Amino acid sequence: MTEITDAIAALVGGTPLVELAQVAPEYGVRFFAKLEGQNPTGSVKDRIVLRMLQRARELGALAPGQAIVEASTGNTGLAVAMLGRRLGHPVEICVPESVYPEIGRLLRAHHATVRWVPRQAGIKSALEVAARVAREEGAFFLDQFGNEENVRTHYETTAHEILEALPRVDAFVAGIGTGGTITGVGRRLKEANPHCRVVGVEPRLGVHLQGLTSLEEGFIPPLLDESLLDGKLLVGNRHAVSHARRVLGSEGLFVGISSGAVMHAAMRVASRLGSGNVVLIFADGGAKYLSTEIWEAADPEAAYDPEDPIDDVLWW
């Protein structure tokens, strides 16, 4: 197959924007979540990978049958494994050992070769290993952290879909991994409404939240345009998990841990905004985190205390 124009590719994007009526605060703020877990491999990453592969093929940078290598904590790896294979490319994914066990199993199920990098080295060293594999073994390095198509895809597709469904957006909340989602969508939403507040979510220092990057650890993703951010929230595991469970318990949506962190951040944004429409990116689904047992432990309706000082909030 030479072009990704088939039925599977047609399933990428066009995800629903749903109102979260149960978890929204009583006062005049409405929450709308973009359900990116409904993409074919279960995350927002299908969008950027489809575009990056198509563009690389168009430009001749990626030759038919050439091996593809990428660094990922999971979601991008799954998208490359599925879409790359459909295009006839062998796929290798460099993955930090800190990821959840489902990730390795899912990548192998998608026939990808997994190259593990030491836990403490994290995504930064996975990137270095992937670049070396490309240099030494002639594989094509997709490089989601440096590929402008990442930001462009969100500007042209994710943001466009949001504005079509909800013309007035007063605040936008998304996790920061490569920074592609928040930069691409944030840029377009601010063009549509210059008063739209764009708030980024990252893990607290030393905390692992799947798919998110801690800027405090010193690795600033090159695609991230921090000038677009009106605020940043550093979220801990407890709040990320309790709010992922709250969304499941109250709205019936099985979302991932970074979505829980975004949900928690949105509650803080709401209390500051007072009224308006807040759009949240739920980047993936919860199924790949089942082995963590977070879904069974303690009381799912963990009370939300707006004054809880746990998380660092940085408003510009």
Ligand X SMILES: Cc1ncc(COP(=O)(O)O)c(C=O)c1O
Stretch touching ligand X by CB under 6 A, among 8-16, 59-67, 170-178, 234-242: 170-178
- Contact call for residue 256 and ligand X (CB under 6 A): yes
Taking CB under 6 A as the criterion, the residue among 177, 236, 276, 286 binding ligand X is 177
Residues 49-108 that bind ligand X (CB under 6 A): 75-76
Q: Tell me whether residue 262 or residue 267 sits nearer to ligand X (CB atom).
A: 262
Helix axis angle, 257-273 relative to 237-246, nearest 10°? 90
Stretch touching ligand X by CB under 6 A, among 1-9, 210-218, 243-251, 294-302: 210-218
Determine the distance from the C-alpha atom of residue 111 to the mean position of all C-alpha atoms in its chain, rounded to a whole number: 23
Burial 229-256 (b: 16+ CB within 10 A, else e): bbbbbbbbbbbbbbbbbbbbbebebbbb
Residue-wise DSSP of 141-154: E--TTT-HHHHHHI
- With CB atoms as reference, the residue minimizing the distance to ligand X is 211
98 in Cβ contact with 130 (< 8 Å):
no
Q: Tell me whether residue 171 or residue 215 sits nearer to ligand X (CB atom).
A: 215
Q: Tell me whether residue 174 or residue 276 sits nearer to ligand X (CB atom).
A: 174
Taking CB under 6 A as the criterion, the residue among 180, 203, 276, 285 binding ligand X is 180
The conformational region for residue 27 under phi > 0 = left, psi -120 to 50 = alpha, else beta, is beta
Taking CB under 6 A as the criterion, the residue among 20, 176, 241, 279 binding ligand X is 176
- Contact call for residue 286 and ligand X (CB under 6 A): no
- Nearest approach, Cβ of 56 to ligand X (angstroms)? 18
Q: Tell me whether residue 29 or residue 201 sits nearer to ligand X (CB atom).
A: 201
Neighbouring CB atoms inside 10 A of 27's CB total 10
Q: Tell me whether residue 96 or residue 180 sits nearer to ligand X (CB atom).
A: 180
- Contact call for residue 43 and ligand X (CB under 6 A): yes
240 in Cβ contact with 302 (< 8 Å):
no
Give the residues across from 150 on adjacent strands. none
- Contact call for residue 178 and ligand X (CB under 6 A): yes
- Contact call for residue 258 and ligand X (CB under 6 A): yes
| Separation in Å, CA 247 to CA 20, 258, 295 | 8, 12, 12
- Nearest approach, Cβ of 181 to ligand X (angstroms)? 3
Q: Tell me whether residue 211 or residue 276 sits nearer to ligand X (CB atom).
A: 211
- Contact call for residue 284 and ligand X (CB under 6 A): yes
d(CA 9, CA 3): 10
- Contact call for residue 13 and ligand X (CB under 6 A): no
Taking CB under 6 A as the criterion, the residue among 77, 211, 285, 286 binding ligand X is 211
Q: What are phi and psi of 59, to 5 degrees?
A: -80, -10
d(CA 7, CA 115): 30
d(CA 242, CA 213): 20
Residues forming the site for ligand X (CB under 6 A)? 43, 75-76, 175-181, 210-212, 256, 258, 283-284
